[in-house]
Amino acid sequence: MRKTSKSLREIISSGGMARVMAAHDPLSARLVEEAGFDAIWASGFELSAAMGLADVSLVSMTQHLDNMRRMADRSSLPIVADVDTGYGNAVNVIFTVKQFEAAGASAVVIEDKAFPKVTSLIAGGRQDLLPISENQGKIEAAVSARQDPDFLVIARVEALIAGRGEAEALERAHAYEAAGADMILIHSKEKTPDEIESFIRGWTGSVPIVIVPTAYPQMTEARAKSLKKVGMLIYGNHAIRAAVTGMQKVFARIIADGGIETVNDEIVPVSEIFRLQDMDMVKQIETQFLR
């Protein structure tokens, strides 16, 4: 497995809580590292959005894999790869895990929806779940496929998203833990943390919980730590939302002003882009080797 500046398994096994920020390309991955997060969430939603596509399994495994590999080349942080449903059944999952681990991922998250999936937070979206036994087989397949024992297999439970209730969510979580999952990601689209906190209080398994507080932003890191069972907190789509916010504001200002004169001092200078591109290194290489 690719050597990283931090080990996700070490953070989690020591009782810590990894703070993970989404990225959708190598530039955003580098900014995640510079900001001080513990790991990168290679988000399927963000990559789909960056490609101008809906998050409904339109982006192929190869496209996601290539993008994640490029992020791994530009950052030393561990990468948690969002592989949706594993791109098919247990056979596909084995191939997916091997490919993503070889490309530099430190973990994969596999959700228990049917393929093709529909993004979780869309109002009125189709949320079809696999039978528990079938998804257990996929988690077992994922665990069997990893080469490095520190590589994490995270099982994502979508029962709350699908309106199936806490009892089924807990049943699924326990089944996936029994299948060998290292962590359980529980997802919710409720606007407050109540549903998630109730699930966590009811969780009697031994593996840590992963949460993604996109819909319930009141869930601070301090509040998550106080629950004593959360080993990873993922900020699931804030890179692409920040990028869209910034571009919309700047583009509108340029149109309104009829030029770039006033907005120029409100955005990063070109020199900052050069820094992120490692242009100083390019100049050093040219000085040393171009003859």
pLDDT 10s digits, 172-201: 999 999 999 999 999 999 999 999 999 999
pLDDT in tens, 69-112: 999 999 999 999 999 999 999 999 999 999 999 999 999 999 99
* Angle at CA of residue 193, ends 188 and 194, nearest 5°: 100
Shared-domain flag, residues 66 and 163: yes
**Domain total of the chain:** 2
Query: For residue 118, what are its two tokens?
Result: 């529909």
Shared-domain flag, residues 259 and 204: no
Beta-bridge partners for 110: 155
194 is catalytic: no
The answer to whether position 3 is within a domain reads: no
pLDDT, average across residues 8-32: 96
Please tell me which residue in 25, 38, 55, 112 is annotated as part of the active site. Answer: 55
Kindly report whether the global pTM for this prediction surpasses the value 0.85.
yes
pLDDT in tens, 49-60: 999 999 999 999
The answer to whether position 1 is within a domain reads: no
Instruction: Indicate whether 5 pLDDT > 80.
Output: no
Beta-bridge partners for 82: 109
Domain extent for 250: 244-289
Helix, strand, coil tally for the chain in percent (to 5): 45, 15, 40
Shared-domain flag, residues 131 and 256: no
pLDDT of residue 187: 97
Shared-domain flag, residues 248 and 233: no
